[in-house]
Amino acid sequence: MALRIIFMGTPDFSVATLEALAAAGHEIVAAYTQPPRPGGRRGLDLQKSPVHLAAERLGIPVLHPLNFREAEDLDRFRAFGADVAVVVAYGLLLPEAILSGTRLGAYNGHASLLPRWRGAAPIQRAIMAGDAETGMMVMKMDKGLDTGPVALTRKVAIEPNMTAGELHDRLREIGAEAMVDAMARLEAGTLETVPQPVDGVLYAAKIDKAETRIDFSRSSVEVHNHIRGLSPFPGAWFELEVNGKAERVKVLGSELCEGAGSAGEVLDSALAIACCSGAVRLTRLQKAGGKPLDAADFLRGTPVSPGTVLA
């Protein structure tokens, strides 16, 4: 028999799991997601979340409470009579009444190798820290922040030039497969969980705008990890003087290269930039209001001479 599932998620990352569970034959009785937010070119139109749109395509009822403080919201959740809640990047901390509001509890798909990188930005933080691998874990949720026992793990190597966007897409698909596997085992009564280790806990704090500016006085490895960990969003950046005016330029791709000079110094005509040790080559850039360009195309429209110092 298929499980009756309440799905809880918001961004594009969550959609693959929702679609995979539906394709596996489970009955998705409701989809909970964040409320529509202002968006569009002028920020005036209310935009439904990717999960909201996907649920509508699948004919699944959609709910988007601001929180679960109202008794009415808790009663509605329980009234679905679900076997289990599946949570993937929902964006709300869930009270115990929700975690225990289904027959079998709530299971979360989390994009790290717990207990490393609990919290909001595990994909970005893993790359920024230079981790060689990460993964998806299916965890039975408890009242803590990503502290519950782990049911399934799927590991993924982080390649040297992989960006957060590329890793996001890889984990999105692996996470969907892992959750389908976990729900099949849960339905069969064979899903087992193991408590997380007490050692190795790290928190993946939400990315702050203040930390997005590139600091070329760091090592080339640190700068490279910083760039790819923030690509494509929110994007690491530097300022470049264009026609006498400082313009912000996002860097969406980079690679390590040979070279030495003062921190931030442009070393050649192909955007090799000196760091405090070593150098990075900027391979993909985007000016404010412009579209992403490979370095050669960027330089055709915005020449950057060797000897220029980026700040």
Res 1 pLDDT > 90: no
- How far apart CA 95 and CA 34 sit, in angstroms, is 16
Q: Could you read off the pLDDT of 132-188 as tens digits, one per residue?
A: 999 999 999 999 999 999 999 999 999 999 999 999 999 999 999 999 999 999 999
Q: From edge to edge, which strands make up the β-sheet containing 84-88? A: 62-63, 27-32, 4-9, 84-88, 106-110, 133-140, 150-157
Q: Which fold has domain 4-203?
A: Rossmann fold (3.40.50)
Distance in angstroms (rounded) separating the CA atoms of residues 95 and 243: 54
* pLDDT for the residue numbered 44: 72
Q: Are 101 and 80 in contact (CB under 8 A)?
A: no
- What 46-52 contacts at long range (C-beta under 8 Å, 24+ apart), as own/partner pairs, is 49/10, 49/11, 50/10, 50/11, 50/12, 50/14, 50/15, 51/7, 51/9, 51/10, 51/11, 51/14, 51/15, 51/18
The single-letter DSSP state of residue 144 is S
pLDDT for the residue 104: 98
**Annotated binding residue 94:** no
| 195 is annotated as contributing to ligand binding | no
Yes or no: say if 281 and 255 are a contact pair by the CB < 8 Å rule: yes
pLDDT at 40 over 80: no
**Would you give the DSSP letter of residue 275?**
-
Domain boundaries for CATH 3.40.50.170 within the chain: 4-203
Amino acid at 250: K
- Which pLDDT band, with edges at 50, 70 and 90, does 25 fall under? very high
Q: What is the mean pLDDT of the chain?
A: 96
| Beta-bridge partners for 6 | 30, 85
Helix (H) or strand (E) holding 118: strand 118-119
- The pTM of this model reads 0.95
- Of 77-86, 200-209, 235-244, the one with minimum mean pLDDT is 235-244
In this predicted structure, which of 59-63, 160-164, 240-244, 264-268 has the lowest mean pLDDT? 240-244
Question: What value does the mean pLDDT take over residues 233-242?
Answer: 94
If you average pLDDT over residues 64-75, what whole number do you get? 92
For 109, phi and psi rounded to 5 degrees?
Answer: -95, 115
pLDDT exceeds 90 at position 252:
yes
CA distance 49 to 35: 7
Average pLDDT over residues 81-99: 96
Q: How confident is the model at residue 126 (pLDDT cuts 50, 70, 90)?
A: very high
pLDDT over threshold 90, residue 39: no
Q: According to the CATH classification, is domain 209-301 in 3.10.25.10?
A: yes
Supply the angle between the helices 164-188 and 12-23 in degrees, to the nearest 10: 30
Mean local confidence (pLDDT), 207-213: 97
Q: Is 100 annotated as a binding residue?
A: no
What is the pLDDT averaged over residues 119-136? 98
| Per-residue 3-state assignment (H helix, E strand, C coil) for 66-115 | CCCCCHHHHHHHHHCCCCEEEEECCCCCCCHHHHCCCCCCEEEEECCCCC
pLDDT of residue 42: 66
**Looking at residue 243, what is its pLDDT?**
82
Is 58 known to sit in a ligand binding site? no
Is the pLDDT confidence value at 48 over 90?
yes
Q: What's the confidence (pLDDT) of residue 116?
A: 98
For the chain, residues classed under CATH 3.10.25.10 are 209-301
Identify the pLDDT of residue 41.
Answer: 67
Instruction: Judge whether residue 259 has pLDDT over 70.
Output: yes
Compute CA distances 266 → 271, 273, 274, 300, whole Å. 6, 5, 7, 16
Q: What is the dihedral of CA 69, 70, 74, 75, to 10 degrees?
A: 170
